[in-house]
Amino acid sequence: MKHILGVLIMMTLGLTACTNNGGGDSEEDRFVEDLLGKMTLEEKIGQMNQRTGQWEMTGPAPKTDGSQQLLDDLKQGRVGSMLNVVGAEATRKAQQLVVENSRLGIPLIFGYDVVHGHQTMFPIPLGEAASWDPELARLSASVAAKEAAANGLQWTFAPMVDVGRDARWGRVMEGAGEDTYLGSAFAIARVQGFQGDDLSNENTIAACAKHFAGYAFSESGRDYNAVEIGGESLHNVVIPPFKAASDAGVATFMNSFNTIDGLPATASSYLQRTLLKGQWEFDGFVVSDWNSIGEMIQHGVAADLKEAALRAIKGGSDMDMEADAYLSHLKELVESGEVDERYVDDAVRRILRIKYRLGLFDDPYKYCNEDREKNSLLTAENKEAARKVASESMVLLKNENNILPINKDIKSIAVVGPLADDKDSPLGNWRAKAISNSAVSLLEGVTTACGNDIKVNYAKGCDLVTGERTFSNILTFNSDDRSGFKEAVKAAKKSDVVLLAIGEDAYQSGEGRSQTDITLSGLQVELFDEIYKVNKNIVVVLMTGRPVVIPELAEKAAAILETWHAGSEAGNAMADVLFGKVNPSGKLPMTFPRSVGQIPIYYNYKNTGRPSGNEMDNLWSRYTDSPNTPQYPFGYGLSYTSFTYSNLNLDKTEIQPGGDVKVSVTVTNTGDVKGKEIVQLYIRDEVAAYARPVKELKGFNKIELDAGESKEVTFTLGKDELGYFHPNGTYVIEKGSFKVMVGSNSAETIETSFVIK
């Protein structure tokens, strides 16, 4: 009985979420309702169908190969959106086909993966998150939006707000790392950066929070794999950045390929209807991921495409990307009564609403301005912004004897390594319309910075990748050609300092780029060892799309600067940091493990019943061959100056549930140069109904201090920070004691406590 009642309540909720037309009487509501009223069922279904352009793929080849079929579908109003059609001219042509031929002339919406820049590339999102500066993310997203809009687009499939704890999963490069709080702050900034405060502004585009939900928890880090996640982690770790994006007014959501506890996210009415469209009152639309509706057949939850369409529409997927499921089957499903037409109306209403907000009904060609396009891409101003964001994203992991910043009095510098003069990898994966080989390489940046004063000795040393490198190729790595070693060793031997550029190729991370081994590929560590024999002053300039395992470098390198894939201005930004024009302030948004076997490793783990223990003790929760601790913890990063923390105070030691505590701390720059510090606030809910993490980030603040200067930094902990979700999704603030920890990274904090009574 109880069960039946539950089902009835869920159904009612589902239908409410489905039939909600905004209830308003705005001009927008009237326009949308009026248009919807004129549409035939076929025309409605056409709006729910998204097709890729035939000339660029970001997924397996489309089923409909005949461009004639696509042309017919466009002309007949059987396509509501296209992806992978870019350029003012190309989008104008496609738009014309629809607007001039279809009965109602409803304009297409053009989407594209504009992930970290459009043609001017910014650091990969993981790198950008290392800046811990959401304002920079807002800036890069707004520049990307401006370029994309000038290039014919009005919708990006970004930001990816998946919280990721497994560096084997290649897509961690697209997100903001392992933390929910930091991830939510970046989700909001990126949405606002892309969308501005007015979608109809010709410089803004619609954003898309993806992948709803759980995708980064793919088992064993293998892309597209099943996700098994309990309610507690789902609600506390995975969902909050999506909620933040929804609250920030994101126009669209994308669901995800994976199953969650057996149910494909694409069919999840709990996620898409109960939460998103119901509780969160999201009024935009949900696009499926590439053929994720069709893939429900492989998942084994739909016998055929028709059943997949049925499950997807009921689950709340409004637009079908590339499965052709809605176009082929939705009409018969509605006519047979298996799908209530109100589901279709709801989806179409949402799609029309976003098109309306973008101003497409006023002028379907407003993003197709060739003159604007000519002057908007890769401008000097945009490159300047990219350089700034890149330099703020770099993380100094090691700096023995202050070898950095490079002393301008040195006579010579070796720039060595397979990535040293690579003008392509710094562009990263998911590079939208970046021009191949257009990045400033490390060699170029350093050569400019050295001018005539310091001699630069370059040698590649070895190749990283053998064979062709493209978005769709699986890479192979050089494991036997050491012919360049000699020259590299020679360059190192005659130089005062060696900059060794190693790490990952751009196409080593991103979609479909999972790896079981995240140590450095090919001969890179061997090259390091050979150079180390002749010169110990090695500064490793790491370029990676994920945390990597680098125990030898951590032990032996004089310095390590993690630069990620830093974008168009990579080499200049690296030089800015290496020579001290910019004092590094980035902090890791994701833990660097000591070994792959520690994965998943993240700072906000839950205690075991047998925590830590003495190294020699048996039967404690530890490895017998490795410490539990990571190589570099979450939040970690050095500066060319040093900071101390003191006077950690709370304004109260007892509060009521729902009350606030003010936290203050004094931070002092104890070094010789000006620097920025990211002050991090963590809490631990010490006794709760469900075990809480040993530490949870609940605030951060990036401050700049002159040498010798002190500042008081304050935070407020209130109801949004002090509660958590029970596994059923209920948010609860529980009584008991809380630890408050403040410091420069998740492993080095000072602490105090208070009680909720």
- Listed in sequence order, the residues at least 6 apart from 632 whose beta carbon sits closer than 8 Å to its beta carbon are 397, 554, 588, 591, 592
Q: How far apart are CA 457 and CA 487, in angstroms?
A: 10
Which of the 8 DSSP states describes residue 563? -
Beta strands in 298-380 (DSSP E): 320-321
Q: How far is the CB of 82 from ligand NOJ (least distance, A)?
A: 11
Q: Which is nearer to ligand NOJ, 155 or 738 (CB)?
A: 155
Q: Which is nearer to ligand NOJ, 209 or 655 (CB)?
A: 209
Selection from 687, 673, 754 nearest residue 715 by Cα: 754
Q: How far apart are CA 104 and CA 92, in angstroms?
A: 17
Please state, in angstroms and as integers, the Cα–Cα distance from residue 11 to each residue in 17, 274, 343, 345, 506, following that order: 10, 9, 13, 17, 46
Q: Is 133 in the active site?
A: no
Alpha helix (H) residue ranges in 257-317:
269, 295-299, 305-315
Q: How far is the CB of 685 from ligand NOJ (least distance, A)?
A: 34
Q: How far is the CB of 210 from ligand NOJ (least distance, A)?
A: 6
Q: Which is nearer to ligand NOJ, 81 or 269 (CB)?
A: 81
Q: Which is nearer to ligand NOJ, 114 or 582 (CB)?
A: 114
Q: Identify the active-site residue in 73, 113, 283, 289.
A: 289
Selection from 439, 440, 427 nearest residue 510 by Cα: 427
Q: How far is the CB of 604 from ligand NOJ (least distance, A)?
A: 25
- Cβ neighbourhood burial of 381 (10 Å; 0-12, 13-18, 19+): exposed
- Listed in sequence order, the residues at least 6 apart from 496 whose beta carbon sits closer than 8 Å to its beta carbon are 410, 411, 412, 413, 537
Which of the 8 DSSP states describes residue 102? S
Q: Which is nearer to ligand NOJ, 65 or 517 (CB)?
A: 65
Q: How far is the CB of 271 from ligand NOJ (least distance, A)?
A: 16
At residue 679, the 3 state secondary structure works out as strand
Residue nearest to ligand NOJ (CB): 58
Selection from 187, 208, 153, 148 nearest residue 351 by Cα: 208
- φ/ψ of 665, rounded to 5, equals -150, 150
Selection from 244, 264, 245 nearest residue 255 by Cα: 264
Q: How far is the CB of 274 from ligand NOJ (least distance, A)?
A: 24
Q: Which is nearer to ligand NOJ, 60 or 611 (CB)?
A: 60
Q: Which is nearer to ligand NOJ, 290 or 700 (CB)?
A: 290
Q: How far apart are CA 203 and CA 345, in angstroms?
A: 30
Q: Which is nearer to ligand NOJ, 63 or 606 (CB)?
A: 63
Please state, in angstroms and as integers, the Cα–Cα distance from residue 372 to each residue in 95, 122, 472, 562, following that order: 18, 21, 31, 36
Q: Amino acid identity of 256?
A: S
Q: How far apart are CA 541 and CA 441, in angstroms?
A: 12
Please state, in angstroms and as integers, the Cα–Cα distance from residue 446 to each residue in 440, 453, 454, 573, following that order: 10, 12, 10, 10
Tokens for 244, please give them. 């933040």
Tokens for 558, please give them. 């004089």
Q: How far apart are CA 404 and CA 407, in angstroms?
A: 7
User: Given the DSSP bridges, would you call strands 81-83 and 455-459 parallel, antiparallel or unpaired?
Assistant: unpaired
Q: H or E element: which one contains 561? A: strand 559-562
Q: How far apart are CA 553 and CA 572, in angstroms?
A: 24
Residues near ligand NOJ (CB under 6 A) are 58-59, 83, 113, 157, 210, 289-290, 511
Q: Which is nearer to ligand NOJ, 218 or 544 (CB)?
A: 218
Q: How far is the CB of 257 from ligand NOJ (least distance, A)?
A: 6
Q: Which is nearer to ligand NOJ, 50 or 537 (CB)?
A: 50
Judge contact between 502 and 540, C-beta under 8 A. Answer: yes
As a whole number of Å, the CA-based R_g of the chain is: 26
Count H helices, E strands: the chain? 23, 28
Q: How far is the CB of 691 from ligand NOJ (least distance, A)?
A: 33
Q: How far is the CB of 592 from ligand NOJ (least distance, A)?
A: 25
Catalytic residues: 289
